Amino acid sequence: MAEKRDKTYILYNIKSPEDIRKLDIPSLEKLAEEIREFLIERVSVTGGHLASNLGVVELTLALHKVFRTPRDKIIWDVGHQSYVHKIITGRRDRFETLRQFGGISGFPKSAESEYDSFDTGHSSTSVSAALGYARARDILNEDYSVVAVIGDGAMTGGMAFEALNDVGRSPNNMIIILNDNGMSISKNVGGFSKYLSKIRTQPLYYKAREDLDTFLQRLPAIGEKAARMLDRAKGTIKYMVMPGMIFEELGIKYLGPIDGHNIAELTKVLSNAKGMRGPVLIHIMTQKGKGYGVAENKPQEFHSISPFEIETGEVKVNNGPSYSDIFGQRLAELAAIDPGLVAITAAMPLGTGLDKFSQLYPDRFFDVGIAEQHAVTFAAGLARAGLKPVVAVYSTFLQRSYDQIMHDTALQDLHVVFAIDRAGLVGEDGETHQGLYDLSYLNHIPNMTIAAPADYHEFIQMLDYGILHHKGPFAIRYPRGTGKEILGQPVDVEHGRGVRILEGEDVTIAAIGKMVETAMQAAELLAEKGIHAEVINARFAKPLDEQLILDSAAKTRALVTLEDNCIRGGFGSSILELLNANSLLIKTKVFGFPDRPIPHGSRDELYKEYGLTPDTIAEETVRFLRSS
């Protein structure tokens, strides 16, 4: 949508939600079309979460039509569907900076706008946060509405059920929008998904309940006994038309299902719910990718998409197989070797590369939905029973299951393999998705082994070792996207053993995972300055190859560590503890990410911003060596 169309497009006259509230339904419907066109054009350039946003255009407009934001609070679960919200809350002119370094975030950020009521990025949090808002409002005697928007995929998360259980006994007014598109990132699975499917196919329930309410209200005064009988009759009709009405049984009024692309119907129902007492859940049905045929047909691929060609939907740049692809391919090959190998994912078979495995071994593949905690303890049960479970999960989501890793897996020393995708920087998704903490939060867990490959060959070797030969919990972390073959002739993987890949006498550079390549490049730059660095590929963050590191550090008398992890409690910290334990006084400098949230931006920009490029590391190492 070109800027020259300003005069004819409603969108370019929308400066804030106040302008939305002035529009009639036909104008809002036209605006919805314009927003879809705008989204497709802009996201095709920047990349981002497209399908989910195309599905909530009408809902977003209806919410801002009915509710007086920012006084009223809208809390988006996960938040990857908040682009439309951002466009109409004063950020349209900056939308070309979406997910770019220094630009607007792809998720709600309260520091970015007063219209963003709560920072989100992980799923299943909105109902809890909304209830907190509602109770605080009532304690403080304030007057505003609170709305949580949660998808059917996020509703499978245990935290959402915990929150619903609390909401149901609450007298506080709040509204929960259940956005039901039959998808999370991949197709939804499990009993709750089947339950929602049943509701979708029996929409007569809501009308039947309304008719019964009207009938009861028109009856003249009757005795208490008759009233109880009629109330039971009301419940009986409800169960005949819609068995197992879980929300109402919890104490939450249920409205729906509603067509989520009908603005007139949405505004009517939202207005009615706004005046109801106590918690209300509105069940709306939407289509992921609505209005863009390619995304409608491939909602998984367009959940989060790189820059693409609008006409075909093809991604503009394809750099070859990713670590996720290599993982999925090798795991399928190992499954043919070992019949005890099983794979688990938390609603991300495509994102983690397990789609091929799921097709080849459907009886040995388990998608548990957005439930990382359950995934880990489920894997522990499988391991206890004699299988070899592999849990494939993004680093940022694995941290949600910390207690299950510790309590249910590590303390029993069970052989569960954690395939940790998107470790290190993920880039454009920003603070909530950076995988910069797994080395730290896994490092102090007893019995845990942590490995990180420097390239594809080493990755395959480590998978083979961790699955076929290791005993006990085994974590292998690997970065987003593609990698290089940098090590030459592969060296067999041995538990806790690193590899010296370059001899030197002036300084030791100990690196792990993706940062090994950076260490090699920095060593080349140092050599140009007459400084000969010894480079160690640690391979294992836990246990460290203590003798290799101590011998090298004693020789060079200077040590630099590199990791794509927070420096607090990570790889470098472990080496400092090692030196201290051995009373070895060595000049040491730790390179990694600082102890603060790392924003969104391209990975190249972020490595440069935080001094983790080969050039900067070489310069800082020279300065470090020359210091007293």
Give me the sign of the Cα torsion angle 179, 180, 181, 187.
Answer: positive
Tokens coding 399: 């941290």
Q: What is the pLDDT of residues 461-490, one digit of tens each?
A: 999 999 999 999 999 999 998 888 888 888
For tokens 């203590």, name the residue.
546
What is the rounded average pLDDT for all residues in the chain? 91
Residue 115 phi/psi, 5-degree rounding, is -80, -15
Average pLDDT value for residue range 322-330: 96
Kindly tell me if the per-residue pLDDT of 243 is higher than 50.
no
Give the confidence band of 317 by pLDDT, cuts at 50, 70, 90: confident
- The Cα–Cα gap between 119 and 129 comes to 10
Q: What is the pLDDT of residues 595-604, one digit of tens each?
A: 999 999 999 9
Give the confidence band of 201 by pLDDT, cuts at 50, 70, 90: very low
Are 413 and 447 in contact, with CB atoms under 8 Å apart? Answer: yes
Residue 176, strand partner residues: 148, 281
Q: Which of 81, 93, 120 is nearest to 430 (CA)?
A: 120
Tokens coding 482: 């593609």
- The Cα–Cα gap between 578 and 538 comes to 14
Q: What is the pTM of this model?
A: 0.89
Are 108 and 148 in contact, with CB atoms under 8 Å apart? Answer: no
Give the confidence band of 227 by pLDDT, cuts at 50, 70, 90: very low
Average pLDDT value for residue range 143-164: 94
Kindly tell me if the per-residue pLDDT of 206 is higher than 50.
no
Beta strands in 505-573 (DSSP E): 507-511, 533-537, 540-542, 558-566
- CA distances for 363 relative to 156, 367, 474, angstroms: 22, 11, 23
- The Cα–Cα gap between 574 and 543 comes to 9
Give the burial class of 580: count Cβ atoms within 10 A of its Cβ; 0-12 exposed, 13-18 middle, 19 or more buried: exposed
Kindly tell me if the per-residue pLDDT of 344 is higher than 50.
yes
Task: Give the residue numbers annotated as catalytic, written as ranges.
Answer: 288, 372, 400
Element (H, E) at 604: helix 603-609
Q: CA angle, 375 as apex, 373 and 380 as ends, to 5°?
A: 100
